[in-house]
Amino acid sequence: MPIHLPAGVELKVSPENMVSVKGPKGELQQAVNPAISVVVEGGVVTLQRPTDAKEHKAMHGLYRALIANMVKGVSEGFKTVQEVIGVGYKVQATGNVMEMDLGYSHKIFFELAPEIHVETVTEKGKNPVITMTSCDKQILGQAAAKIRSLRKPEPYKGKGIRFKGEEIRKKAGKAAAK
């Protein structure tokens, strides 16, 4: 499946099979296995594999997805939105450092990668919201997963950090004994 390059996005392939993509949102690089060849012709990127062996098919799909994500990232960018649910839970971002109060005896300071731009919103009567944007999907997803792991949503009251729109299956509490 070919990858179409949007206007303003430039893709280069070095002789060592290093793909670099440059666009309005940033610049990303990815090393590609020498067995897979990357061909750029007239704003369309195609990947070719030498055989239909299982290993070559797997690498072909992997590198095609990685390059497509790089192209989308430098042109549009990626965004994750997380909600912090719980009484007294607070989140505040200063630069690339997040300060979180998650019901522990101490505050948690979480430093994000420089590629990630973070914004926190706390409105009265609503849950704090963490919005992170980046051109690198892999780093963004890893940071979002790490933040969620600091206080996973629990199944009884639903307190914790969850992705916006994520459904948490709630359990019933203890039944009263007769």
Residue ranges, comma separated, of all CATH 3.90.930.12 domains in the chain are 3-75, 78-163
Q: Which tens digits make up the pLDDT trace of 111-120?
A: 999 989 999 9
The answer to whether the CB of 133 falls within 8 A of the CB of 77 is yes
pTM for the full model?
Answer: 0.84
Q: Could you tell me which of 104, 70, 71 has the C-alpha nearest to residue 90?
A: 104
* CATH top class, domain 78-163: alpha beta
Q: Which tens digits make up the pLDDT trace of 37-85?
A: 998 888 899 999 999 999 999 999 999 999 999 999 999 999 999 999 9
DSSP string computed for 50-89: SS--HHHHHHHHHHHHHHHHHHHHHHT-EEEEEEEESTT-
CATH number of 3-75: 3.90.930.12
